Amino acid sequence: MDLRAALRQKFGFESFFPAQEEVVERVIAGEDTLAILATGAGKSLTYQLPALLLEGTTIVVSPLIALMKDQLDMLRERGIRNVIAINSTLSDEQEEAALARIASGAIKIVYTTPEKLEDEAFISLLQSIHVPFFVVDEAHCISQWGHDFRPAYLGLGNVIQKLGLPPVLALTATATPAVREDILKQLGIEHVKPIVRGFDRPNLIYEARRADKEADKLKIISSLFTGEDALQGTGIIYAATIKNALHVRDFLTDQLGVPAAVYHSKLHKHERTAVHELFMNENIRAVVATNAFGLGIDKANIRFVLHYDLPGSLEAYTQEAGRSGRDGLPSRCVLIYRMSDTRVQNYFLTGKYPDVEEVQRVFGTIEVFGDQSTGVSMIDLRKILQLPLTKLKVILALLKKAGFIESLGRSAYGLTDAARKNRELFLNLTNYDTKKAYDQSKLAMMLQYAETRSCRRKFILNYFGQDYDRINCGACDNCLRSHTIGNTQSRASDGPFRIADVVMHPTFGQGTVERSEKDLVTVLFPSVGYKTLLASAVTREEAIA
C-alpha cells in the first residue's frame, strides 16, 4: 500500500511528520501500538488515515466532547462525512439515528467517550460490526499515575476483550516511563514496545519568573506586554482559578489596553464559542483561561503561553505550554509563580481523592435508593451527597471495579448481586492514598522545575525519560544567561546515574532514576512518588543482588 499517495489523496499532505508513518504502518499491519508523540505532532492522523483505508468501523475513545467536535469538523471540511460521535450531547432521537448508521456498516470512524462504553447495549452493537482497530486517545487518562486520570477509562481493557481483541492504538503526548507501563498493563498489551518521539520542541523558549507577592505577578505581566522584551503575536495565559483568570483579563484590558477575553468552564456554550472564534481570528491578543481551554485548539501560530500560577504537574505544564509554536517558529513559554501557589494545587488534590467515610456514604445512598429498577442517577447522588463531581466519579469507579455496584442505563447505578449477598466485600483504598502522595510529589517536581538554575529543556526531557546531554540548549532563560552559550556539544551525564537506571533506597525500596545532576538524583518510587535525594542515598539494584 502506498501510504504517501493515500495521505495526499485523503488529506492533501505531501509527507508525514516524524513517527507518523511508523505508527500508521504498525496499525495497517494489525499490530498493537502505544505512540507517545509531542503536542502538535499530528496524533489524530495516525488513526484517521488507516481507519479510512481499512475495512470496517474504527472506534476512537476520546475524553472530551469538544475534542471530538474539532476532529469531526476537520474531517468534514476535507469531505470525509462517514464519521460520527456518540456522546451525551445527542438527543434520544439523534442517538437512535446514529446507532442505526453504525449498525448498517456505513460509518468509518466512531468517536465516543469511555462512559458511553459502559453501556452494554452499545457494546452489543459494536460486537455486531467489524472493528479493524480500537483507538484510545489521550491514553494517559487510563493510568492512575497520569496527570488527568479518568476513572471510566479503567473499563477499556474489558471492552477490548468483549470486541474480540482488535488491535489497539493508544496515543498520548504526555507519558512518563511509569505511565507508559501502566497504559500497556491496563489495555492488556504489555508486549508492546512504545514509539516515543519528539518530547523536545527546539523552537519553544522556556522561562520562569518568580514573584514574591501577588502584585508582583501583575508587574511581570506588564513587563511582558510593554517592555523591551515584549511578547509578540497572540497567545494563551493560564490561571489556576476562575477568579485569577478574571483578574488578569481585567488587568490586561483596563490597565494595559491589551485586547483579551476570558475562558472557563462556567461560561455558557455560546460564550465559549465566541471567545474561541475571537482567538482563532486574532481579534484579541490573549485568551486568559483555566485549563478548560486548549485541548483540540488547531492554531499553529500561537506565539506565547504564559502560566500565571504554578500548574499541578510537569505533564500538565508541558501539555499546555506545548500548544504554542506548532508552526515551528520561536515561541515563548513563561511560567510566573509564587511559592504559595502550591496551596491552590494541594486544595485541588483534596477534592480528588476519597476517604473511607465518603465511599461509605456513596455506597449507603446507592443501597437505600438503588433497589428501584432504574437505580439511582449521578445527578441525584450529587444532590443528596453534595460531593465534588470528580470525587464522586472516582468513588463510583472504585465501587464498580471492586464489584459493589453496576451501571443501570445512562449514568445510573445499583448494587450488584454479589454486594447484596456478601456483606463482607472488602474495598481497598490504599491505591488512592498512594496516588495522593504521588500527585503531591509531582507538584514538588513542578516547583523544582520553576526553581532550577540548570537547563529547563533538560529538566523536562529527563522527566519524560529522555536523555539530553547538551551543555546548553540555547533556548531557555538559564542557558541564555549561561557563560557556556554556543557550546552545545554532547557530554556524559552530570551525575553518577543515567536516566532509567534502577536503584534501591533503604526506606523507599526500588525506584527508577528520572534525572541526575551533580550530586543529586531524582527517583520515582512506586510507593511514594518522586524524591530528590543525594546520589549517595541510593545504590544500583545490581549492587544489592
Q: What gap in Å lies between CA 110 and CA 28, rounded to an integer?
A: 18
User: Does 174 have pLDDT greater than 90?
Assistant: no
Residue 447 identity: L
Strands 412-415 and 376-377: antiparallel
Supply the pLDDT for residue 428. 62
Give the domain 496-544 fold.
SH3 type barrels. (2.30.30)
Cα separations in angstroms, 275 against 261, 302, 379, 403: 6, 15, 29, 44
The answer to whether residues 346 and 378 touch, using CB atoms and an 8 Å cutoff, is no
> Distance between CA 436 and CA 416 in Å, rounded?
28
Three-state secondary structure along 509-543? EEEEEEEEECCEEEEEECCCEEEEEEHHHCEEHHH
Same fold, 3-197 and 204-346+440-451: yes
Mean pLDDT (the chain) is 86
- Which of the two residues, 403 and 455, has the higher pLDDT score? 455
Residue 172, SS3? strand
pLDDT for residue 143: 84
The pLDDT value given to residue 449: 94
For residue 544, is pLDDT > 50? Answer: no
What pLDDT, on a 0 to 100 scale, did the predictor assign at position 48? 95
Residue 533 CB-density burial (10 A; 0-12 exposed, 13-18 middle, 19+ buried): middle
Please work out, in degrees rounded to the nearest 5, the angle formed at the alpha carbon of residue 306 by the alpha carbons of 305 and 308: 150
H-type helices in 41-165, by residue range? 45-53, 65-77, 92-103, 120-127, 156-162
What's the rounded Cα separation, in Å, for the pair 506 and 528?
13
Are 160 and 188 in contact, with CB atoms under 8 Å apart? yes
pLDDT digits (tens, 9 = 90+) for 352-376: 777 778 888 898 898 888 667 778 8
pLDDT at 486 over 50: no
Which cell is 364 given?
449507603
**In the prediction, which pLDDT does 490 show?**
42
pTM: 0.78
What length does the chain have?
A: 545
Q: Which of 469, 522, 529, 503 shows the shortest CA–CA distance to 179?
A: 529
* Nearest alpha-carbon partner for 182 in 151, 141, 226, 138: 141
Nearest to 21 by CA among 195, 219, 273, 190: 195
Average pLDDT over residues 541-545: 51
In this prediction, residue 231 carries a pLDDT of 95
Q: What is the pLDDT of residues 204-221, one digit of tens each?
A: 999 999 999 999 999 999
The pLDDT value recorded for residue 371 is 67
CATH fold group of domain 204-346+440-451: Rossmann fold (3.40.50)
3-197 CATH, one of 3.40.50.300, 3.20.20.70, 3.30.360.10, 1.20.1560.10: 3.40.50.300
Q: Is the dihedral of CA 516, 457, 173, 210 positive or negative?
A: positive
| Per-residue confidence (pLDDT) for residue 485, from 0 to 100 | 47
Domain boundaries, the chain: 3-197, 204-346+440-451, 356-428, 496-544
152-163 pLDDT per residue, tens: 888 899 999 999
CATH class of 356-428: mainly alpha
Instruction: Give the integer Cα–Cα distance in Å for 488 and 470.
Output: 5
Please name which of 153, 144, 89, 168 lies closest in space to residue 117, comparing C-alpha atoms: 153
Q: State the Cα–Cα distance between residues 457 and 482, nearest whole angstrom.
A: 14
pLDDT greater than 50 at residue 489: no
Phi, psi of 477 (to 5 degrees): -60, -40
Write the CB contacts of 295 (distance below 8 Å, at least 6 apart in sequence): 64, 66, 67
In this prediction, residue 543 carries a pLDDT of: 43
Residue from 532, 529, 370, 314 nearest 437 by CA:
529
Average pLDDT, stretch 494-499?
Answer: 72
Q: What is the pLDDT of residue 29?
A: 95
Residue 413 has pLDDT above 80, yes or no: yes
Query: Of 274, 271, 322, 316, which Cα lies nearest the Cα of 299?
Result: 322
Q: How far apart are the first and last CA of the chain?
A: 50
Using pLDDT thresholds of 50, 70 and 90, give the confidence band for residue 338.
very high
Among 69-83, 168-182, 477-491, which stretch is predicted with the lowest mean pLDDT?
477-491
Cβ contacts of residue 255 below 8 Å, gap of 6+?
Answer: 218, 222
Q: How far is CA 330 from CA 2, 60, 269, in A?
A: 34, 33, 33
